[in-house]
Every structure is written in C-alpha cells, then in structure tokens.
Amino acid sequence: MKTYLVGGAVRDELLNLPIKERDYVVVGGSINEMMAQNFTPVGKFFPVFLHPDTKEEYALARIERKVQGGYHGFTFDTANTVTLEQDLLRRDLTINAMAKDEKGNIIDPYGGQKDLKEKWLRHVSDAFVEDPVRVLRVARFAARFAPLGFKVAPETISLMKKMGQSGELDFLVPERVCKELLKALEEPMPVAFIQVLRQSEALKYILPEINALYGVPQDEKHHPEKDTGIHVELVLNQATRLTEDPQVRFAALLHDVGKGTTPKENWPEHPHHEQRGEEIAIGLCERLRVSNEYQALARLVVRYHGEVHRAQVSSAEDILQLFEKTDAFRRPERFAQILLACEADFKGRPGYEAKEYKQVTLLRLMFAATQDIDVPGIVKASQGQGEIIKNKIHEARLKAISAFKN
C-alpha cells in the first residue's frame, strides 16, 4: 500500500503558491486496511477517508466508467490493482493530474509540469466530456490563474463546446452552477470565468441572461465600449479591484441584465431596463438557488443603480426615497455595498477607470447627515404616537439632506 500527495497541493507547490489543503491517493489499499489504521470513512460515492490525526482526505485509487448522463452517472472501481496512472488519468486538467511520493518525487504521466511552465489549462483525456462540472471547473481555474498568464488550451475549449452541443451541460444542477459561480467570484480574476464560458459557447446554457447581453449596443456617448456584454466584463473587473466582497461582485455582474431584453427598435437606448432587469435578476437567483443575501443586494443594485448615478441632480425628496427604498436606514452596511457596485458600474468604461465617482461621496455625506437627527428627542416630543414619529423623522431627514444639498 503506497500513499501519494495529489492534485492541487502538488500543482500549487510547483507554482510556489500557498497550499490550502492536501489530498492523498492510496494505491494498493483496501477499505479494511484503511479502517484497521483508524481512518474515518466519509466518501458518499467512493471510498474516501479522513486521517485519524491530520483529518486530511485519503482516497483509494479508482477508475471511473460513464454509464449515464450527468456527473453522477459513473461507476467506480477501487480494486487494489488500480494504478496511480489510472487514477490520475480520470482527473480534469493535466496540472491537477500530478502526484508526489513520500520521497518527494513528482509523478507526472500526462505533462502537467510542461503545461504549468507553458501556462496551459489542458484536459487530461477525452473522458473530460463525461463530466459537465468540468466546464465550470475549467472556467473557475481560469479565474484563479489568468493573472499568472494561464489560458485554456484550444483543444480543451473545443471539447467544452461539444459538451454543450451534446446536451451534457443540461445535466448541471442549479446548486452546482451557483457553487462554482460564487467560488469564481472570490478568485483573483472572476471575469475570466465568464469569458471562458462564452468562448466555449457554454455561457448560453449556464447563464443565458448574461450571454444575452453580448452584441447589445449602448449609447456610445456614455459607453465608449458600446457592447453591453463587454461593459459588464469591465464592471466586474472594477468591482474586483474595489472589493473582495463576492456579493458586490455578483451584483455588479447582474446590474445591467435588463438590457438583454430591450426591443431592438429602442437600441442603443434602454428605457426601463432597471425595472425589467429586477425581474430577470430575481428569476436568475431563484433558478440558481442563490442565498437571500446575494439576491437582495443584486436586486437592489439592478433596480436602483440609475437613481444612484443621478444623485447629483436629484431632489432632496428623491434622495430620501432612494434611502428608504433601499432600506438604507436599517441596513447601512448593505447600502454601502450598493454604492460599491454602482461605483464599479461608473468606472467600468474606457477612460473612466481613474475618474472620481462623485455620486458615492455625495450620497455617503448626505446619508451621514441623516444619522445626526435627534430621534430620541422626536420620540419624546411626539408622545409615542407612531404615525407622528414616522412623519417627524421623515421631515428631519429631509431637512438634513436639503441643508446639505444647499
């Protein structure tokens, strides 16, 4: 029985990156042998164990056979005759199909080190097409490694296209799409996730609402980039630069989703795209089963980003209504997220990246002014009458905003 370090830990060590977790494969072992050494079984579909001390994962070497569609449509063979090379062959990318033995020797039967050096994300074998999740994983690895210069190999892109054409991507369940998307939003370059899915023609199956934005023109006066899809990529890049918060990045990705349904006769204008977009964003979030927190922020950004942009020319009453509609007084931390997403939208245009977004400064100052009103004094003077308290607080907030604007 031999044990090897495999996968991401080997890859990251060779890239001189921090190792987040270590996974091991056991060759020539059996379930009984693992149990005899006090390993804890945790695998649902195949034998995976936790080390009794380190709690790191150890899996018996296995081969897979596709028996039906989807990523659960496999049978597994974990006989003690399965070799390390057979186990590595089933993995997605060559850079993830390397192992290291107990003496520190690298076992690399499929060219992972060469692809690391040449910065390619390349599939190990044509069995890649058997698991639809691999399309999402490749796109997510692109989001992680694109800043290092990695690209997806053309032949891997071709296989990903075939998976969409064959209907294999139809087997992706919403929860897994959501999981991979949200993971990608936490990577150093989330936009690469979208770009790879589009390049492989998978975006139209996985996020059709985003795919619909490409080729939709915008007013060149305000959008030198013209194409709405390209604008969304630029906005996501700006959101990535402004914050590590994946909720803000998600909202930035969805902010203009309503423009994909604008009638062509209205192009390049997009009247009422915020209202249409809100419904589309809700539908997308419900389909992917996104958490309430992600959905609420995205919905508010989609619906009200235009009003935030118009803050400099809005009346005090309009500003107060914006605060109230976004529930800013009860959720100031979420309102701050809204402003970040709107700043990313403003800067997500060629020539605007370094410009000051004055609206966000103005709204922050006006919101701060509303926090200085004497709420306890108003409550006391109103003798506890709810409607009077509500009106007095509204008047005081309006006065504070008006004084600031004047």
Domain tally for the chain? 4
The average pLDDT across 10-17 equals 98
- Looking at the structure, tell me whether residues 287 and 324 fall in a common domain: yes
pLDDT band (50, 70, 90) for residue 375: confident
User: Could you list the residue range(s) of the whole structural domain that residue 199 is in?
Assistant: 119-206
Q: Which domain-ending residue is among 165, 188, 206? A: 206
- Looking at the structure, tell me whether residues 241 and 186 fall in a common domain: no
In this predicted structure, the answer to whether residue 72 has a pLDDT above a threshold of 70 is: no
Reference 4, options 57, 54, 78; nearest CA is 57
Q: Which domain-ending residue is among 206, 221, 252? A: 206
- Looking at the structure, tell me whether residues 87 and 5 fall in a common domain: yes
In this predicted structure, the answer to whether residue 44 has a pLDDT above a threshold of 80 is: no
pLDDT (tens digit, 9 = 90+) per residue, 100-148?
A: 999 999 999 999 999 999 999 999 999 999 999 999 999 999 999 999 9
- Looking at the structure, tell me whether residues 25 and 95 fall in a common domain: yes
pLDDT band (50, 70, 90) for residue 383: confident
- Looking at the structure, tell me whether residues 33 and 112 fall in a common domain: yes
CATH assignment at residue 362: 1.10.3210
Which long-range contacts link 279-282 to residues 24+ away (Cβ below 8 Å)? 280/209, 281/209, 281/254, 281/257
- Looking at the structure, tell me whether residues 292 and 321 fall in a common domain: yes
pLDDT (tens digit, 9 = 90+) per residue, 309-346?
A: 999 999 999 999 999 999 999 999 999 999 999 999 99
- Looking at the structure, tell me whether residues 190 and 221 fall in a common domain: no
Q: Which domain-ending residue is among 118, 137, 164? A: 118
- Looking at the structure, tell me whether residues 278 and 168 fall in a common domain: no
pLDDT band (50, 70, 90) for residue 275: very high
In this predicted structure, the answer to whether residue 288 has a pLDDT above a threshold of 80 is: yes
CATH assignment at residue 136: 1.10.110.30
- Looking at the structure, tell me whether residues 261 and 349 fall in a common domain: yes
In this predicted structure, the answer to whether residue 170 has a pLDDT above a threshold of 80 is: yes
- Looking at the structure, tell me whether residues 151 and 35 fall in a common domain: no
- Looking at the structure, tell me whether residues 186 and 227 fall in a common domain: no
- Looking at the structure, tell me whether residues 101 and 233 fall in a common domain: no
